[in-house]
Amino acid sequence: MRAKDVKVVLNKRELHDTTVALVPAAGMGTRVGLGPKAFLQQGGHSVVTKVVHALSPCVKRILVGVPSGYLDRAHDELKGLAEVFPGGASRQETVFILLNQCIEQIVLIHDVTRPFASQSLIEKVIDAGKLYGAAVSCIPMHTPVAACKDDLISGSISIADLRQTQSPQAYRRDILVQAYTRALEAGWETQTTWQLVVQAGIPVRAVMGEERNIKITTPFDWEIATRVLEPK
């Protein structure tokens, strides 16, 4: 897709004063080693179904990007709950694909790998996105951080101003379009959306997140998710 494609969509569509949620869920889960994380089973439901149910009370519409080989399964599981699209080769590309389907003024982005975000947190981030234009949930750093070179500690880094970012993230749609257009033109690649927005020169508001809003990245994360955080 080209940068001008985003601009065309923005110019041709009438924006609605509602909130849409984008769920990038196209990763294949290579680090966990159990297949796409979106379809891991937790408490009798897939992770993506759990995330969609958490988002539903807070937004008007939900768009989910999944691996192309899992479209039929996603359609079956999310019928009546979310719109499903084939995702891209990266998280950034998947968000871009979903962004092109948006007609809403406020865009919430929530990773499928964070199925424990509360409705309260989702609503706080949406409110901050509406007020400031760009917002992301964060939690404070609690452990010391060392600067290292060649496996030797060269110093310590103050954690007073450091935050661990999470999702959900919320943005005005025009801000996202601006950031993704610049990213496409400049060839930027980042791990998450707020990095693109900041790189585009747009301030992002930090919203207090939740410790239990963990990201499922490794087998150990999945063990915590299933043994500790899953309701019994």
Its domain, for residue 19, covers 15-138+165-229
**DSSP label at 15?**
P
- CA–CA dist 116, 221 (Å, integer): 12
Residue 95 domain-assigned? yes
Residue 202 domain-assigned? yes
| Whole-number pLDDT of residue 29 | 63
How do the pLDDT tens digits run along the chain, 232 residues long?
A: 444 454 434 444 455 569 999 999 998 766 666 778 899 887 788 999 999 999 999 999 999 999 999 999 999 999 999 999 999 999 999 999 999 999 999 999 999 999 999 999 999 999 999 999 999 999 999 999 999 999 999 999 999 999 999 999 999 999 999 999 999 899 898 879 999 999 999 999 999 999 999 999 888 888 888 876 665 5
- Domain CATH code at residue 189: 3.90.550.10
Distance spanning both ends of the chain, measured CA to CA? 44
Count of structural domains, the chain: 1
Residue 78 domain-assigned? yes
| Whole-number pLDDT of residue 225 | 84
Q: Which two tokens stand for residue 117?
A: 């975000």
Residue 147 domain-assigned? no
Residue 9 domain-assigned? no
pTM of the model: 0.89
| Whole-number pLDDT of residue 8 | 38
Residue 158 domain-assigned? no
Residue 206: other Cβ atoms inside 10 A: 16
- What phi-psi label fits residue 15: left (phi over 0), alpha (psi between -120 and 50 degrees) or beta? beta
45-46 and 41-42 beta bridge pairing: antiparallel
Residue 159 domain-assigned? no
Residue 153 domain-assigned? no
Report yes or no: 113 and 215 within 8 Å, Cβ to Cβ: yes
- CA–CA dist 170, 110 (Å, integer): 9
- What phi-psi label fits residue 201: left (phi over 0), alpha (psi between -120 and 50 degrees) or beta? left
